[in-house]
Chains A and B, each alone.
Chain A
């Protein structure tokens, strides 16, 4: 079992009346709510938290990409990852990821991830999401009808840039480059492991199987709603003749740990409410740029809607509505959006989830909403010291994680030296 500490980097000072007063946390979130001086503290706290997670022994620390977003202050995950590459030494650096179609040319992604792989001594996991409709079509103006074709082509370009041993020309449908020859090249050979965050479409499952990539289901709505998707994923793997190696999959879950359940409920109520009620307050008008959802997925959703006795709510374009709007804390607990409790309770629940969903890579949101650094680090510490050891051996007797970075041996890696230490040594 692998534990991946995942940061969204939410802006922590959205006002109490955010939901009532403002239409959206994303795309057109008001500029006046952003305080750069507060962001100075937030960014540094968040990076401290990621570095603390490394020190506590988490297997990976994860960053991701969002734009114009009040719950995701990382338009460039690569900037944070490059700092983590210097300031941490053990954890894999999971860049989850770069929305490939947004980079022109996509060669830039191949270069930056190769740089971070070299700086970190080969610790990079390369995540390649298509990107959300908000980030891609609205914030970055990407044509929703071309997004997926551009994404696939950019993926081909990046993988070739990493793995080919010549200077080559790329004559794609959307990208033309006479000379592709990235310097530096990734340290990991033939390339860093590739993980694909997906939203539950059959085409993505099939593609992950074909390419032998990890499928990461990054829903904010927990293991209960995630069951259907992950069971669908494994059903598709069976059909395609792939084994049920749990390390083919990653799954995201909010978790809050304290000494007792009562204390945990007290500590994590506010940050959970902040996240689900303020951070997920997104104007529905941005949900479905036409063409973003493929027709095959629309058709599958429409069929499954018809098959369900009481259909899940859907929007007008056949996308599943993922969870409750503005849920109460009790709903969040009841429906498993958040798993909160004592270390033993959390370990029991996560074991059940990992086995049921058959997921070897747990991606953990241990900071969420407006949670401060002290509470976040305490959550990480309790998880690392009291929860993880109970689950560490799960799956490992039977399965090998073939999708994990292969860094240089520690003794061969460079050791970053801080200027203070260097001066003291003189």
Chain B
């Protein structure tokens, strides 16, 4: 299998990293609340059949310029610019996880022609009064990993400093990712996406960990109900909010199958 290729594109004049791996038709992935500090098994699974392209949103590891984005429209516009700069053209397949899921849904709603197949892994963006999203920021020291993943060690390893990184500087990188998430989602995670989901016409797979402590799986039905296109739900057993980190095999299998259908 090929190695990870890295290049940078500009969004609002700021550099944003793009990682790519695999061969075949491009498959775009927008990462969750921590961004993509390192490549994952899940992405490897997808890269067996596709060219996986992961552009970093501003403020997330590899991406700069979050402080320029104030409104939600600023963020969605930046995501469109980023995806297009990374090579997305009409009829692209797009996966978004967590925060990246809410942004992917926005992209599919605002630019319906751009997205052919849409995969949303526990996306943010809606707010159910009976089951409000957890406050992912107000957590005691050391607790956040177990809120975001079923297996806390998985999240800790995912976000730990890469080889050769300065630990202090890496703390700043990961805090910046959470800041960028907060910039988009603070305080409740409700981006008013519900007002736009009716414009999502792409075939959509909604994937949810059955042990998601941030957004309970009941949100999967809510998304499915609002989206105009055909929407199927896949529940991943034994997985938390970042379900593709918790269970890369099963998530990869479901999602590969869906995006590679005719």
Partner of A144, one of B141, B172, B182: B182
Among A137, A290, A317, chain B packs the most CB atoms within 10 A around the CB of A290
State whether the Cβ of B187 lies closer than 8 Å to any Cβ in chain A. yes
Contact B186 A137 (CB under 8 A): yes
State whether the Cβ of A264 lies closer than 8 Å to any Cβ in chain B. no
Measured in the bound complex, the distance between the Cα atoms of B182 and A290 in whole Å is: 7
State whether the Cβ of B137 lies closer than 8 Å to any Cβ in chain A. yes
Within 8 A of A (CB), among B178-213: 178-183, 186-187
Instruction: Look across to chain B and name the residue whose beta carbon is closest to the beta carbon of A174.
Output: B70
Contact B138 A145 (CB under 8 A): no
Measured in the bound complex, the distance between the Cα atoms of B68 and A409 in whole Å is: 49
Within 8 A of B (CB), among A126-159: 137-138, 141, 143-146, 149
Contact A289 B182 (CB under 8 A): yes
Measured in the bound complex, the distance between the Cα atoms of B172 and A285 in whole Å is: 18
State whether the Cβ of A103 lies closer than 8 Å to any Cβ in chain B. no
Contact A145 B182 (CB under 8 A): yes
Given contacts A284-B141, A286-B138, contact A145 B180 (CB under 8 A): yes
Residues 161-193 of chain A: 1 if any B CB is under 8 Å from the residue's CB, otherwise 0?
A: 000000000000110000000000000000000
Q: How far is the CB of B78 from chain A (nearest CB, A)?
A: 14
State whether the Cβ of A402 lies closer than 8 Å to any Cβ in chain B. no
State whether the Cβ of A334 lies closer than 8 Å to any Cβ in chain B. no
Contact A290 B178 (CB under 8 A): yes
Within 8 A of B (CB), among A14-59: none
Contact A316 B141 (CB under 8 A): yes
State whether the Cβ of B143 lies closer than 8 Å to any Cβ in chain A. yes
Instruction: Look across to chain B and name the residue whose beta carbon is closest to the beta carbon of A27.
Output: B138
Instruction: Look across to chain A and name the residue whose beta carbon is closest to the beta carbon of B178.
Output: A290
Contact B186 A145 (CB under 8 A): yes
State whether the Cβ of B260 lies closer than 8 Å to any Cβ in chain A. no
Measured in the bound complex, the distance between the Cα atoms of B139 and A316 in whole Å is: 11
Q: How far is the CB of A121 from chain B (nearest CB, A)?
A: 41
Measured in the bound complex, the distance between the Cα atoms of B61 and A103 in whole Å is: 33
Instruction: Look across to chain B and name the residue whose beta carbon is closest to the beta carbon of A140.
Output: B187
Measured in the bound complex, the distance between the Cα atoms of B144 and A315 in whole Å is: 14
Measured in the bound complex, the distance between the Cα atoms of B181 and A145 in whole Å is: 9
Q: How far is the CB of A102 from chain B (nearest CB, A)?
A: 13
Measured in the bound complex, the distance between the Cα atoms of B139 and A295 in whole Å is: 20
State whether the Cβ of A384 lies closer than 8 Å to any Cβ in chain B. no
Given contacts A143-B183, A145-B186, contact A299 B141 (CB under 8 A): no
Within 8 A of A (CB), among B32-66: 66
Within 8 A of A (CB), among B61-85: 66-67, 70
Contact A298 B171 (CB under 8 A): yes
Contact A141 B186 (CB under 8 A): yes
Contact B172 A146 (CB under 8 A): no
Q: How far is the CB of B183 from chain A (nearest CB, A)?
A: 4
Contact B168 A285 (CB under 8 A): no
Partner of A141, one of B176, B180, B187: B187
Contact B141 A291 (CB under 8 A): no
Among A145, A146, A303, A318, chain B packs the most CB atoms within 10 A around the CB of A145
State whether the Cβ of A302 lies closer than 8 Å to any Cβ in chain B. yes
Contact A283 B140 (CB under 8 A): yes
Contact B183 A146 (CB under 8 A): yes
Contact A284 B187 (CB under 8 A): no
Instruction: Look across to chain A and name the residue whose beta carbon is closest to the beta carbon of B144.
Output: A316
Residues of A within 8 A of B67 (CB): 145, 149
State whether the Cβ of B175 lies closer than 8 Å to any Cβ in chain A. yes
Partner of A316, one of B70, B169, B171, B179: B171
State whether the Cβ of A306 lies closer than 8 Å to any Cβ in chain B. yes
Partner of B70, one of A137, A141, A173, A306: A173
Residues of B within 8 A of A285 (CB): 138-140, 143
Measured in the bound complex, the distance between the Cα atoms of B169 and A303 in whole Å is: 10
Contact A306 B183 (CB under 8 A): no
Residues 200-243 of chain B: 1 if any A CB is under 8 Å from the residue's CB, otherwise 0?
A: 00000000000000000000000000000000000000000000
A residues at B contact (CB < 8 Å): 137-138, 141, 143-146, 149, 173-174, 283-286, 289-291, 295, 298-299, 302-303, 306, 315-318
**Can you name 12 extra interface pairs (CB under 8 A) apart from A285-B139, A286-B138?**
A143-B182, A144-B182, A145-B180, A146-B70, A146-B183, A289-B186, A291-B179, A295-B172, A298-B171, A298-B172, A299-B168, A316-B142
- What are 27 A-B interface contacts by the 8 Å CB criterion? A138-B138, A141-B187, A143-B183, A143-B186, A145-B67, A145-B179, A145-B183, A145-B186, A146-B70, A173-B70, A174-B70, A284-B140, A285-B139, A285-B140, A289-B137, A289-B138, A290-B179, A290-B182, A291-B182, A291-B183, A298-B175, A303-B168, A315-B141, A316-B141, A316-B142, A316-B171, A317-B175
